Amino acid sequence: MQSGGKQRRAESQIPGCPSAPCLNGGTCSNDGTSFSCSCPVGYSGDLCEIEVKATCQARGDPHYSTFDGTLYDFMGRCEYILAEDSVNNTFEIRQVNEPCGNGNFSCTKSLTVIFPNVTIQLLRGSVVVNDSEVDLPVSYEGVNIENITRSGVGLTLVESAYGVKVEWNNVHNVRVTVYGRYINKTSGLCGTFNRNSADDFLTANGTIVENAVNFGNSWKTDSCCDDATDVPHPCWTYPDRNATAIANCSALLTHPFNVCTSQVDPVSGGYIEDCEYDVCGCGDDPTVCVCQAIEAYVADCASYGVNIDWLSDHRYQQCGSPCASAPCCNGGTCSNNESSFYCLCSLGYTGARCETEVKATCQARGDPHYSTFDGTLYDFMGRCEYVLAKDSVNNKFEIRQVNEPCGNGKFSCTKSLTVIFPTVTIQLLRGSVVVGGAEVDLPRYYEGVDITRSGVRVTLVDSDYGVKVEWNNVHNVRVTVYGRYIDKTSGLCGTFNRNPEDDFLTAYGTTADNAVNFGNSWKTDSCCDNATHVPHPCETYPGKNATATANCSALLSPPFNVCARQVDPVLQGYVDDCEYDVCGCGDDPTVCLCQAIEAYVAACASYGVSIDWLSEDRYQQCSSPCASAPCCNGGTCSNNGLSFLCSCPPGYTGDRCETE
């Protein structure tokens, strides 16, 4: 062993560097008495043994510090690519920012860390891996996730063999560290890691811009989000907060923090300025912002091996309180409750942390029977195009429904839907989908809008606008909207405000006293005849009552009763609607019965209750081609093997009698 060591030292002095002392591809040169290593990009040290690294930060409101040290502020409210390997796609880190402080500013809400073998969502209070919540610590191939404490600060740490490390304090402060293998390979809000800060504002489209707002907006992952705008410095907007900000933030220059000044200068590193910015913008109680600004500085010091004991200082004991961790999401207000906290959620959100955006579903089912976002049940037999639902404040969406005669001709059913978003207009017809005037095959994806098939017949339109539309291509329509539309909807689906008393708000801004007047007000074509009141068909055709009762009471028994707790078929109108439709369906109630059952099964599925009903002999007819009511305009359907034939009434033609 000893002679081997001497031999290696001797060889290192031989001209030509035959012992190859330089690591990681370094080039050796020799002057006759000693050697030197010229290191490749990404490595340093006498022997090129050290892989260099750089850290990007998003701290506070957030203030960004790129891999190459550029400091900037960006107040976007969307999901952004924070950092990515833009050459080999080895990793991608996404950051969701939400409003915070007084509402003009934004803070980190969540992170998504993507490696080739695993996708990790870091949420406040939880970690989700590949769509399942996990307990920490947990390890995957080359990726470790754990909770740690450093200088009194709790962190979620993601370390990987990919040369990427992510730290988040589960509040406002994020640190992303990448190693030298990514030099000249990164992009996103963390900039280009190439030791040249001049090109840090490289946008997603490959151009370099001069200001942070244009740069940041380019890295949105969702084009439906509003672009961020320049936000004036809050200490200018709220000059009365200046004194508080200066008093709190200048503490970084004093004990116990000044032990780190030689490693991390709080002035030139932007920490004091960022702290003052956040305290001025934090609202009436700056506790969270002060604590987060100090935590960001302490975390940076810890990365240099300087640990600061600051939480034992009585001035900062508030930073150890539950609410100092900003546990309430989406603008929720936090109150300390001994060793825990309580969140008072803002409009449209719910959950212990206000983490869940509420939603409501409107239905048009059967002949059609409507159930508004706030739960009002009514029947309306119009034969025209109507506004089913729309955003009446910001015009983010509009859904139109065309109803046509069906059954014995006195009733109406959904014929088609038109779904309108700012980026795309979609027509849902029986058996086809038309976008921009052209029929398209599914699945099809547009900016923020996905159109897919679900199961055998259902067409699903899902969107980043917080709106989802489901149509089974026959009679049943479901429209789901999220909490952002509370107090903003109108149309046949009513006003989404948890107050059914005003659901019959007409297109003229008045509240109607009956469903017929309400529905007629939402016609898009004034030339259509107004609908009139239609007597209950079981009263008009009492001979069908027994058939209707026998068929529809099945919703109270197996296999359907497994869902009774989630969706009560009596209280929520499914049994009544079924009987109405079977009585009004004509001589063959197959389509109407199948559609009534499908509507109930779909509602159960939305609560996670799947019902296997089509395997039963009595409902196999519901899988037949004619059960999908493929014939339009009163055409009569005949099953023809796996297909169907439509016998059209006078004046109509086409495979589905769709052409007048």
Instruction: Give the other-Cβ count within 10 Å of 599's Cβ.
Output: 28
SS3 content of the chain, % helix, strand, coil (to 5): 25, 30, 45
Say if residue 383's pLDDT is above 90.
yes
Residue 9 predicted with pLDDT over 70: no
Q: Which of 484, 479, 437, 439 is nearest to 461 (CA)?
A: 479
Average pLDDT over residues 617-622: 86
With a cut of 80, say whether residue 155 has pLDDT above it.
yes
In 10 A of CB 263, how many CB atoms? 13
- Return the higher-pLDDT residue of 499 and 171: 499
Residue 6 pLDDT grade (very low, low, confident, very high; cuts 50, 70, 90): very low
Q: 460 or 149: which carries more pLDDT confidence?
A: 460
Alpha-carbon distance values, 458 to 26, 420, 433, 581, 619 (Å): 61, 19, 12, 21, 18
| Mean of pLDDT values over 554-567 | 94
Mean of pLDDT values over 290-317 = 90
Exposure letters 54-83 (e unless 16+ CB within 10 A, then b): bbbbbbbbbbbbbbbebbbbbbbbbbbbbb
Label residue 5 by pLDDT band (50, 70, 90). very low
Structure confidence at residue 634 (pLDDT): 74
Which pLDDT does position 531 carry in this prediction?
Answer: 93
* Cα Rg of the chain, angstroms: 32
Full DSSP string of 517-547: HHHHHTBS-TTSPPP-----HHHH-GGGHHH
CA within 13 Å, CB half, 576:
13
Answer yes or no: is pLDDT of 41 > 80.
yes
| pLDDT attached to residue 561 | 94
Band of residue 306 on the pLDDT scale cut at 50, 70, 90 = very high
Instruction: Compute the average pLDDT of residues 219-231.
Output: 89
- The Cα angle at residue 389 between residues 385 and 394, in degrees rounded to 5: 120
pLDDT at 149: 87
- Helix residue ranges per DSSP H, 12-82: none
Whole-angstrom distance, CA of residue 531 vs CA of residue 403: 11
Q: Where are the domains of the chain?
A: 15-51, 57-218, 234-326, 358-521, 537-611
Question: Cβ(467)–Cβ(460) under 8 Å?
Answer: no
The pTM score is 0.71
Query: Of 107, 151, 124, which Cα lies nearest the Cα of 310?
Result: 151
Q: Does residue 4 have a pLDDT over 50?
A: no
Q: Which phi and psi angles does 374 have, rounded to 5°? A: -100, 10
**Residue 524 vs residues 175, 241, 505: alpha-carbon distances, Å:** 53, 53, 16
**CA–CA distance, 597 with 608 (Å, rounded to integer):** 17
Structure token pair of residue 290: 């002060």
Average pLDDT over residues 341-354: 89
Please tell me which of 27-41, 470-484, 580-594 the model is most confident about, judged by mean pLDDT.
470-484
Q: What is the pLDDT of residues 391-426, one digit of tens each?
A: 999 999 999 999 988 766 677 889 999 999 999 999
- Average pLDDT, integer, range 432-441: 93
Tokens of 217: 């907006």
Query: CATH says 15-51 is which class?
Result: mainly beta
Q: In this predicted structure, what is the pLDDT of residue 456?
A: 66
Report the share of the chain in percent with pLDDT over 70. 96
pLDDT at 16: 62
| Residue 255 in this model has a pLDDT that exceeds 60 | yes
Instruction: Express each pLDDT in 320-335 by its tens digit.
Output: 888 887 888 777 888 9
Q: What is the mean pLDDT of the chain?
A: 89
**Distance between CA 300 and CA 56 in Å, rounded?**
11
Mean per-residue pLDDT, 235-255: 93
Q: What is the pLDDT of residue 101?
A: 64
pLDDT at 226: 85
The pLDDT of residue 613: 92
pLDDT tens for each residue of 66-105:
999 999 999 999 999 999 999 999 999 999 998 876 667 8
Q: Which range is least confidently modeled, 10-24, 268-282, 404-418, 520-534?
A: 10-24
Among 217-221, 273-277, 398-402, 428-432, the minimum mean pLDDT is found in 428-432
14 has a pLDDT exceeding 60: no
Residue 139 has pLDDT above 70, yes or no: yes
Any idea which of 115-124, 386-395, 577-586 has the lowest mean pLDDT? 577-586
Asked if 200 contacts 70 with a C-beta cutoff of 8 angstroms, the reply is yes
pLDDT at res. 631: 79
Please determine, for residue 660, whether its predicted confidence score (pLDDT) is greater than 80. yes
Selected residue with higher pLDDT from 588 and 180: 180
* Backbone region of residue 223 per phi and psi (left: phi > 0; alpha: psi in -120 to 50; beta: other values): alpha
